[in-house]
């Protein structure tokens, strides 16, 4: 029997997308499988780890817990939309690199999105606000101190203004390596 699909529209990283989705598919599945935006990671699928965090209408959500049909008409920001189109990293991305907040990289997309949402609401967060804002994002490499330092750095405006290309050159391709290892874990 053919599977029923429903048409929805999402604005994803600034681009309006029309998609036919299965009613039971999550926003995470649609982003990864239909739109090939695999930055958001699939891990616990029960809202515990934060690896799938994205912004929906400006609010951070676990995309594994949202049905795609529930997001019809929404404005969605994923980690792929953080850097500017010319490859310049967002300050929070540059700060993660600067502070060593990335090890295996699996949790990094979700951490970045939660940090981005935190800084949007609290441009100069206290340590307690950082800990509370990031409480839903687990890091099995235990980079918490480096991640918190990166958020502090981004909040202070001290992150270096670097492009993705120059960061990769300076950091021995650490960012690309982390991305690759994170994507490798999808397999
Ligand atoms: S995969 Fe969504 S919270 Fe873990
Ligand atoms: S860097 Fe967080 S899980 Fe590895």
Q: What is the pLDDT of residue 125?
A: 98
Q: Are residues 130 and 175 in the same domain?
A: yes
Q: Are 150 and 98 in contact (CB under 8 A)?
A: yes
Residue 171 has pLDDT above 70, yes or no: no
Contacts with 177 (C-beta within 8 Å, 6 or more apart), sequence order: 105
Mean predicted lDDT score pLDDT of the chain: 88
Residue 45 has pLDDT above 60, yes or no: yes
Instruction: Indicate if 96 and 77 belong to the same structural domain.
Output: no
Point out the ligand 1 atom lying closest to the alpha carbon of residue 42: 1
Mean pLDDT of 30-58: 98
* pLDDT of 22 above 50: yes
Give pLDDT, residue 1: 61
Q: Are residues 122 and 147 in the same domain?
A: yes
Q: CATH number of the domain that 134 lies in?
A: 1.10.150.120
C-beta of residue 115 within 8 angstroms of C-beta of residue 154: yes
| Structural domain boundaries, residue 122 | 91-184
Question: Any idea which of 73-82, 119-128, 151-160, 166-175 has the lowest mean pLDDT?
Answer: 166-175
Residues 178, 109: one domain? Answer: yes
Question: How sure is the predictor about 151, in pLDDT bands with cuts at 50, 70 and 90?
Answer: very high
Spacing, Cα 90 to ligand 2 middle (Å): 19
What's the pLDDT at 2?
A: 63
Strands 75-77 and 6-12, by their bridges, are parallel
164 and 109 share a domain? yes
DSSP state of 137: -
Q: Which residues have any ligand 1 atom within 6 Å of their CB? A: 42-45, 47-52, 62, 64
> What's the mean pLDDT in 34-40?
98
Q: Which residues form the pocket of ligand 2, taking CB atoms under 6 Å from any ligand atom? A: 102-108, 139-141, 143
Same domain, 115 and 69: no
Taking the CA of residue 65 as reference, the ligand 1 atom at the shortest distance is: 2
Do residue 22 and residue 77 come from a single domain? Answer: yes
* pLDDT(170) > 70: no
Residues 75 and 97 in one domain: no
Q: What is the mean pLDDT of residues 48-77?
A: 98
**Which residue in 40, 8, 31 sits closest to 182, CA to CA?**
40
């Amino acid at each position: 029997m053919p599977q029923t699909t429903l048409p929805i529209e999402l604005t994803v990283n600034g681009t309006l997308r029309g998609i036919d989705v299965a009613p039971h598919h999550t926003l995470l599945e649609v982003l990864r499988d239909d739109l090939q935006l695999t930055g958001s990671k699939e891990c616990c699928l029960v809202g515990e780890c934060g690896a799938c965090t994205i912004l929906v209408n400006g609010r951070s959500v676990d995309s594994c817990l949202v049905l795609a049909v529930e997001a019809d008409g929404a404005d969605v920001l994923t980690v792929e939309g953080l850097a500017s189109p010319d490859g310049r990293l967002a300050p929070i991305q540059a700060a993660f690199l600067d502070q060593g907040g990335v090890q295996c990289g699996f949790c990094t997309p979700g951490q970045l999105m939660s940090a981005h949402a935190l800084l949007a609401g609290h441009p100069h967060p206290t340590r307690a606000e950082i800990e509370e804002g990031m409480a839903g994002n687990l890091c099995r490499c235990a980079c918490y101190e480096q991640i918190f330092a990166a958020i502090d750095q981004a909040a202070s405006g001290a992150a270096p203004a670097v492009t993705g290309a120059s960061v990769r050159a300076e950091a021995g391709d650490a960012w690309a390596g982390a991305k690759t290892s994170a994507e490798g874990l999808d397999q």
